[in-house]
Amino acid sequence: MYLVQSRHRPAARGITGLSEAVVDLSAVRDNVRTFRRRVGQNVMAVVKADAFGHGAVPVARAAVEAGAGWLGVAHADEALQLRAAGLRVPILCWLYDVSELVFLGDVEVDVSVSSVAELQRVVSTPSVHYVHLKLDTGLHRAGSAPDHWIELTRTAAHYEALGAVTVRGIWSHLSHGDSADAVQSTRQLQLLRTGVGLARRAGLRPDVVHLANSSGAVTLDAPDTDLMRIGAGLYGIDELGIGLRPAMRLVSKVAQVRRIRAGEGVSYGHDFVADRDTTVALVPMGYADGIPRVAAGRASVQCRGVRMPVAGRIAMDQFVVDAGDVAVEPGEPVTLFGDGSAGEPTAADWADWAGTIPHEIYCGIGNRVPRRYEEQR
């Protein structure tokens, strides 16, 4: 049993095509459990950007099955998609337009609030009940400046007393959350604690206080927070090596095979020129599918258990690999990345080859690559 889902097209039932991103939902469940066991806090599964390209609804369901008590998204339509799919746990949305508030309120989505002006817009949307006040503790992106925090918490307490809104959470976001060095994170935690103290003095009694992302949850000792917002870690991006399992495998099939002679060039501009007679195999994925064009010259794929380097430029829909003298046939499976256990590249390898982070590789996998869901265990 599996589901083929493409974000902008209806699923072409029964047609798998040449390429697919196979998502192992048991890895998502294991990763949630790894965080819960290690940190002992409730998990907000961050499924923004279509769960980093893995598919928001199936990932959210798997995370909730494994005990995640909250879901987190950036955009309003992401929250609405989860509710429409029947997910009932609390959802926090942190980047929305005023015009979207009424829809969020209608399906009981919590919203982040960083200023009195934002709070007033929420209060004038009667359907919105729950807000999380956000304090800027050093990222200097969203959040209330510390100078405005007392005014914000007092105003919120005033509206709470009127029954206009409930402050369910107080939160902040780390600036060095991807680092094992907890100095800056600890400073931010101290500021958040002060902020929570001031909020209490204003009369607020938030259910949840949350600060850490995936890596922050591991590095930061914050027993007085209640939730960790886990994004990268859900998908097996293992920044601190805590034994997470990558959930996505990107596979394709060899579309064509050709023998070329020494001295012949391959793909646009002939960046690759064969130094010997060799076999080249066409892989039908390109930068429109999220294969980073800049990775040419370093990247390789796995076919027949052998690493084959990308030969020449990566085009929009296809690229070529140098198969050497391996007897590749059209239709043979090609692994672009997986968990690395069979010697195939990982998303982290592609990130290195492209000078980026695996998050961007996963999020970039294009809409025309169907997602298929499976359970390894």
Ligand X SMILES: *Cc1c(COP(=O)(O)O)cnc(C)c1O
d(CA 349, CA 237): 12
| 92 or 260: CB nearest ligand X | 92
User: Which residue among 202, 222, 230, 321 contacts ligand X (CB under 6 A)?
Assistant: 230
Strand bridging mode 227-230 / 20-24: unpaired
- What is the DSSP track for 10-45? ---TT---S-EEEEEHHHHHHHHHHHHHHH-SEEEE
d(CA 208, CA 224): 10
User: Which residue among 54, 132, 173, 253 contacts ligand X (CB under 6 A)?
Assistant: 173
| 230 or 296: CB nearest ligand X | 230
| 230 or 301: CB nearest ligand X | 230
d(CA 106, CA 76): 12
User: Which residue among 25, 27, 51, 94 contacts ligand X (CB under 6 A)?
Assistant: 94
User: Which residue among 229, 245, 249, 253 contacts ligand X (CB under 6 A)?
Assistant: 229
User: Which residue among 232, 255, 328, 336 contacts ligand X (CB under 6 A)?
Assistant: 232
The piece of 3-11, 76-84, 97-105, 224-232 that touches ligand X (CB under 6 A) is 224-232
User: Which residue among 53, 138, 195, 231 contacts ligand X (CB under 6 A)?
Assistant: 231
**Among the options 48, 96, 134, 159, which is catalytic?**
48
The piece of 183-191, 227-235, 279-287, 360-368 that touches ligand X (CB under 6 A) is 227-235
d(CA 71, CA 205): 21
Q: Which x/- pattern, by CB under 6 A, does the window 259-298 give for ligand X?
A: ----------------------------------------
**Among the options 96, 130, 268, 287, which is catalytic?**
268
Q: Was 316 annotated as part of a binding site?
A: yes
CA distances from 224 to 153, 189, 192, 364 (A): 19, 10, 10, 36
The piece of 180-188, 228-236, 275-283, 340-348 that touches ligand X (CB under 6 A) is 228-236
User: Which residue among 53, 233, 292, 366 contacts ligand X (CB under 6 A)?
Assistant: 233
Rounded to 5°, the CA angle 247-248-250 comes to: 160
Ranges of beta strands (E only) in the chain are: 4-5, 20-24, 42-46, 70-75, 91-95, 110-113, 130-134, 166-171, 208-210, 227-230, 248-253, 256-260, 265-266, 272-273, 278-283, 300-303, 306-311, 319-324, 333-337, 371-374
Measured in degrees and rounded to the nearest 5, phi and psi for residue 60 equal -60, -45
Determine if 214 is a binding residue for ligand X (CB under 6 A).
yes
Q: Mark whether 268 is an active-site residue.
A: yes
DSSP-derived letter for residue 289 is: G
Q: Mark whether 362 is an active-site residue.
A: no
Read off the tokens for 18: 């040449």
Q: Was 200 annotated as part of a binding site?
A: no
Q: Find the binding residues for ligand X in span 43-82 (CB under 6 A).
A: 46, 48
Q: Please tell me whether residue 197 adopts helix, strand or coil conformation.
A: helix
Determine if 312 is a binding residue for ligand X (CB under 6 A).
no
The piece of 27-35, 60-68, 230-238, 262-270 that touches ligand X (CB under 6 A) is 230-238
Determine if 177 is a binding residue for ligand X (CB under 6 A).
yes
CB 293 → ligand X: shortest distance, Å? 25
Determine if 227 is a binding residue for ligand X (CB under 6 A).
no
Number of residues lying near ligand X (CB under 6 A): 12
Give the burial string for 13-31 (b: 16+ CB within 10 Å, else e). eeeeebbbbbbbbebbbbb
| 217 or 266: CB nearest ligand X | 217
What type of residue is 199? A
Binding residues for substrate: 141, 316
Catalytic (active-site) positions: 48, 268
Residues that bind ligand X (CB under 6 A): 46, 48, 94, 173, 177, 213-214, 229-233
